[in-house]
Chains A and B, each alone.
Chain A
C-alpha cells in the first residue's frame, strides 16, 4: 500500500465518522515492513496535482508513525503560477520518494477512535469489518 493511500483512508466503522480521530489511522512503525520501488519515475505535474489533494497534517502524522520527522510542519506552498523553484522541486522529489515510491508491504493500522486494527497484507489493506462493527 503506497504511503499516499494512508492520506485517503479513515476508519471504516460508521460510528467513528462522528469523531475527528478516525483519520488518519495510526500505523505501527515497528511492525510495518516498508518497501521502495525506485522504478516509479518522478513527474512534476503529477506531484503538483497530488499536493492539492493531500492533507498535510495526516502526512506528518503517518510519517511520524513510521519514524520520519524531517518534514516541514506546514504544507509547502508551491509557486505553481510560474516555473517551480529549485526548492519546490526538491520538496516534491522528497515527497515522491515518501508517498509514491514507498509502500507498506506488511503492517497494521489502528483507528484512534475505536481502536479497531486493520491489517495490510502483501501491500493490500484490508478494511473489512466484523459483524459487530458493521
Chain B
C-alpha cells in the first residue's frame, strides 16, 4: 500500500521546479501524481511506495528542501494535533517510532514565530515517544513546518496560517548550491553559469552516475561541474583555447574539479570546433548539456576561412622547413556562423549520438519584445519535453530540454529554416530599446 509524503520545496525558479521533480521521478522510475501540485505553494503531498522511493526522488533535488513522511496538517497547532490523531496510520507510526532516539525541528516559510518551542514540543506528548532525545545523531527527526502570511512585502508574518507535521525521510541536495557557488570557484569567467540553475539543468537533463555527459561549448566548465557532481564522466569542448586553459596552473577547470573532489569524473576539455567534431561516432553520449554561444560575450565561430580566396595555396607555406599549419603554435582562422545553423547542428548531433531516451538540454536567450516571436528549434527525432523560462528585466532565457525518441518518432521539424528574427546580440547591446 502506498504511503503519504510531504515535499517541502523552495519558492524560487518555479518555472523549473516541476520539471526537476518530474525528471527525477522519471529517472528513478517513480509514478507520481502531480494533479495537486501548485507552482505557488511550497508544499506538495504525494503518495509513494515507500521511504526508499521518497529518498531517491528528493536526494538530488535542488529546488526542494526535504521530503517527510506525512503525519498530518492543520490551520493551527490544535487542528494539527487533531489531524495527526485522526489519521488511519497514526497508531502504526506511533509504534514504529516508540523506541527511536529523536529530535524535533521547526521549519518556517515566509515568517517566524515567537512561540515557546519547548512548550510546543511538549504538546506532542500524546505521541508517547519513549526513545531518548538526541540533538546530534538522532535516529529520527520530526519536523513542524509552518507557513505564514507576510504582513507586508518586507514584513514577515508571526502567526502561522498552516502547519504540517512529518518524519524527515530525506534532505534535498540544496547544500550543493553553496558548494558550487561561483564566488568560491577558483576558475570562472564572464560566461560562467550560476550554480543553482546549472545543477537544476543537470537534474532536468537526467545526468546519471556512470554515464557520459558532453558539453560542446564548455567555456569555463560550469555544466561540467554539475555533471561531475551527479556522477557522470564529463567531457567538454570549446573552440576558444583560452577559456579551456584558464588562468594559470592553479586556476583552471581541472583545479576546480580537484577542489570539488570530482577529479575522477572529469575526463577532459578539448580545444575543438563542435561542428568539426572529433568524438568517435560509436561513442554513446548519454546526455548533452550546454549553453551555446549567442554572440553576446563571444562570437559564433566555426573553423574555416571567411574569405577562402585569401587562403588559396596557404597550406603549402612552410616555416623552418615545416608546413605552417603543422606547427605547434599554428592558430587556425575562423569564420562567423549563424545561430540557427549552430543549433541545427546541435539537434542533429543529439539525434545521432544520444541513446533513445537520452536528453539534450541547452539554454537559449531571447529578447522580451512582444512583437518578436521566439521560435524554438525542432528536430523530427527529438521530443521537446520542457521549455522553462527564466525572466529578467528586458530579456529572458529558457532551458530547452529534448528527449531522443529515435528515427521511428516523427515530430515537427524546423531545422534548416531561418528562425531567429532579430540578432540577440544587437538587441542586447542596444539595451533592448
Task: Give every chain B residue within 8 A of A49 (Cβ-Cβ).
Answer: 210-211, 233
Chain B, residues 261-282, CB within 8 Å of chain A (1/0): the string is 0011101111111001111111
B330 on interface, CB distance cutoff 8 Å: yes
If A11-B278, A55-B282 touch, whether A125 touches B264 (CB-CB below 8 Å) is no
Asked if A119 is at the interface of the complex by the 8 Å CB criterion, the answer is yes
When distances are taken between beta carbons in the complex, the residues of chain A under 8 Å from B342 are: none
B263 touches A39 (CB 8 A): yes
Q: How many B residues are at the interface, by size bracket?
A: 35 or more
Q: Which B residues touch A19, using CB under 8 A?
A: none
CB-based contact A127/B210 at 8 Å: no
A17 → chain B closest CB, angstroms = 7
B305 within 8 A of A: yes
**Is A9 an interface residue when CB atoms closer than 8 A count as contact?**
yes
CB neighbors of B among A77-134 (8 A): 100, 116-117, 119, 121-134
CB < 8 Å neighbour of A8 from B244, B276, B279, B330: B279
CB-nearest residue of chain B relative to A115?
Answer: B326
A66 located at the interface, meaning its Cβ lies under 8 Å from any Cβ of chain B in the complex: no
Q: Does any Cβ of A come within 8 Å of B308's Cβ? A: yes
Residues of A1-55 at the interface with B, using a CB-CB cut-off of 8 Å, are: 1-2, 4-5, 8-14, 17, 23, 37, 39-41, 43, 45-46, 49-50, 53, 55
* Contact in complex: A128, B332 (CB < 8 Å): yes
> Which residues from 198 to 230 on chain B have a C-beta closer than 8 Å to any C-beta of chain A?
209-212
In the complex, how many residues of chain A place their beta carbon closer than 8 angstroms to a beta carbon of chain B?
A: 42
How distant is the Cα of A17 from the Cα of B352 in the complex, in angstroms?
Answer: 15
Given known contacts A41-B264, A122-B245, A124-B271, is B303 in contact with A131 (CB within 8 Å)? yes
Which residues of A sit under 8 angstroms from B237, Cβ to Cβ? 127
Asked whether any CB of chain A lies closer than 8 Å to the CB of B45, the reply is no
Query: A126 contacts which chain B residues (CB < 8 A)?
Result: 241, 270-272
User: Does B118 have its Cβ within 8 Å of any Cβ on chain A?
Assistant: no
Q: What residues of chain B lie closer than 8 Å to A13, measured between beta carbons? A: 276
Expressed in whole angstroms, the Cα–Cα distance for A17 and B268 within the complex equals 22
* A125, B15: Cα distance in complex, Å: 39
Question: Looking across the interface, which residue of chain B has its beta carbon closest to that of A50?
Answer: B233
- In contact, A8 and B283 (Cβ under 8 angstroms): yes
B280-A9 in contact (CB<8A): yes
Tell me whether B137 is interfacial, beta carbon within 8 Å.
no
Q: Are B233 and A1 in contact (CB under 8 A)?
A: no
Tell me if B328 counts as interface (CB < 8 A to partner A).
Answer: yes
A1 in contact with B268 (CB, 8 Å): yes
Asked whether any CB of chain A lies closer than 8 Å to the CB of B304, the reply is yes
CB distance from A24 to the nearest CB of B (A): 8
Which residues of the other chain, B, contact A40 by a CB distance below 8 angstroms? 263-264
Q: Are A12 and B315 in contact (CB under 8 A)?
A: no
**Residues of the A chain whose Cβ atoms lie less than 8 Å from the Cβ of B244:** 124
- Whether A131 touches B328, Cβ cut-off 8 Å, given contacts A37-B263, A41-B264, is no
Within the assembled complex, what's the spacing in Å between the Cα atoms of A12 and B241? 16
Q: Is the CB of B281 within 8 A of A10?
A: yes
Distance of A95 Cα from B284 Cα, bound (Å): 20
Can you spell out 28 A-B residue pairs with CB atoms less than 8 angstroms apart? A5-B270, A8-B280, A11-B278, A12-B277, A40-B264, A41-B264, A46-B265, A49-B211, A53-B284, A123-B268, A125-B271, A127-B237, A127-B272, A128-B239, A128-B272, A128-B273, A129-B273, A129-B276, A129-B303, A130-B314, A131-B308, A131-B314, A132-B314, A133-B325, A134-B273, A134-B276, A134-B304, A134-B332
Told that A2-B267, A10-B279 touch, could you supply 9 new A-B pairs with CB distance under 8 A? A1-B268, A10-B281, A40-B264, A49-B210, A125-B271, A127-B273, A127-B278, A131-B333, A134-B303
